[in-house]
Amino acid sequence: MRLDSLPSGCDKRRLSGELSLHRSSHCLSKRARAKWIPLCSSVSSVVKRVVSRNAALPAKLYTLVRNTHRQAETVANATYDVVIVGAGIVGAACANEFARRDMRVAVVDREVVGSGATGAGMGHIVVMDDSEAQFALTRYSQKLWQVLRNELSADVEYDQCGTIWVAADEEEMGEVTRKHDFYGDRGVATEILDAKRLKQSEPNLRDGLQGGLFVPEDAVLYPPCAARFLMHRAEQHGAKVILGASVSTLGQRRVLLSDGLQLTADIIVNAAGAWSAELTPGIDVKKRKGHLVITDRYPGFLRHQLVELGYLKSAHSVATDSVAFNVQPRRTGQILIGSSRQFGAEHKEADQAMIVRMLQRAQEYMPCVGQLSAIRMWTGFRAATPDKLPLIGPWPGDKSVFLATGHEGLGITTSLATARILVDQITGTKPEIPIEPYLPSRASKEHAHV
């Protein structure tokens, strides 16, 4: 790509630097590596190429050696205090939290550590103010990540780049003021940016935007490696991990694997994300599909995570498909482009129409995005609940089953707090925040009144 091909208004100086592939380039064939995918020209035609090319790509960012049947049988024959179903970041965080408190822990997943929604997610560590309960959980977990950050391995790529909530008009600037006051009253530092300051902060945003809200403590990280880091910590404390093993049923102190092996424990944690409802019938968790696109390396093109204020409307929709402008800088110099939400989409294949809408939305805020080269796109399924809050705690009707699911797009952010709250409940430790808004029993009460 030639820099002089960029449209006027783009900061060409910030696009300097050698173009090279993301570390996940091992997922690409040599033929695919040689072909760059411009995101503009004709968005629709580009999407067709991205979709067809990615159809042949491996689904995993990492290929781990799966347990042999003999290894799994050895692990299954032992007795545990806790068996966790799901090795995404929530399951890994729970495993680490239980194991470091000297509990005997086993983790089971049909895939690899950090797959599922974790492997498909953007990786933001953010405070959110949709409700007091959402704020309390995200802020608590953000603080836990801040405590842990100096211990994280380099490949986790924890980067406190901050978030800018972008206001397109005066009405949205009113929302900026509201958020600023809300966060300020609760001890979260923010800065209101006018149009000039916004442009200085992110030169590649289009002209005419009204301003934004800068939240400096927000961060991004690389979710699969974060999950692997937490699981490795758990293993250091004695946790056992069984990968490539599907769970057929769980409950009544038993986890039955599809190959007939059985694990027993007093506590069973369902952390299976979008598939948790299949293992615990009756919980109100639905799959919500999303798409993401990642570009080649463009050091300096983007400095902060950027989110349109309309993102909240997209996230709140429970019946319609939606897209919103949300981009993240990666330490590699790549740009992660989102986001989309779909209910009722059961297939993992990319939806061309949704990708077109998502990229067009991104270009409405950052026209230069259309001149970047994409190397990969993928889909994933979020675990969504009706009230936008996760289910953390005991499941009524089975004293051995506990839930850690329903985080939708905030699983990375809230994983550490979820694990801490869950273990606090089980060990009788007083939690740092009120836990009532997240208890699974609230769903049972709601259904009882319907």
Tens digits of pLDDT across the chain (450 residues): 322 233 434 443 333 332 222 333 333 333 333 333 444 444 444 444 444 444 333 333 333 334 555 566 677 667 899 999 999 999 999 999 999 999 999 999 999 999 999 999 999 999 999 999 999 999 999 999 999 999 999 999 999 999 999 999 999 999 999 999 999 999 999 999 999 999 999 999 999 999 999 999 999 999 999 999 999 999 999 999 999 999 999 999 999 999 999 999 999 999 999 999 999 999 999 999 999 999 999 999 999 999 999 865 544 455 578 999 999 999 999 999 999 999 887 888 999 899 999 999 999 999 999 999 999 999 999 999 999 999 999 999 899 999 999 999 999 999 999 999 999 999 999 999 999 999 999 865 444 433
Quote the pLDDT of residue 56. Answer: 34
188: which 2 tokens? 């979260």
- CATH code 3.50.50.60 for 69-121+223-284+387-448: yes
Which backbone phi and psi does 22 adopt, to 5 degrees? -65, 160
Do 69-121+223-284+387-448 and 3-61+286-384 have the same topology in CATH? no
Best CATH choice for the domain 3-61+286-384 from the list 1.10.1760, 3.30.1330, 3.30.9, 3.30.1540 = 3.30.9
The 3-state secondary structure of the chain reads CCHHHCCCCCCHHHHCCCCCCCHHHHHCCHHHHCCCEECCCCHHHHHHHHHHHHCCCCCCCCCCCCCCHHHHHHHHCCEEEEEEECCCHHHHHHHHHHHCCCCCEEEEECCCCCCHHHHHCCCEECCCCCCHHHHHHHHHHHHHHHHHHHHCCHHHCCECCCEEEEECCHHHHHHHHHHHHHHHHCCCCCEEEEHHHHHHHCCCCCCCCCEEEEECCCEECCHHHHHHHHHHHHHHCCCEEEECCCEEEEECCEEEECCCCEEEEEEEEECCHHHHHHHCCCCCCEEEEEEEEEEEECCCCCCCEEEECCHHHHHHCCCCCEEEEEEEECCCCEEEEEEEEEECCCCCCCCHHHHHHHHHHHHHHCHHHHHCEEEEEEEEEEEECCCCCCEEEECCCCCCEEEEECCHHHHHHHHHHHHHHHHHHHHCCCCCCCCHHHCCHHHHHHHHCC
Quote the pLDDT of residue 76. Answer: 66
Confirm if 82 and 267 have CB atoms less than 8 A apart: yes
Quote the pLDDT of residue 19. Answer: 28
> Per-domain residue ranges for the chain?
3-61+286-384, 69-121+223-284+387-448
Quote the pLDDT of residue 310. Answer: 81
Quote the pLDDT of residue 91. Answer: 99
Quote the pLDDT of residue 396. Answer: 95
Distance CA(237)–CA(160), nearest Å, equals: 29
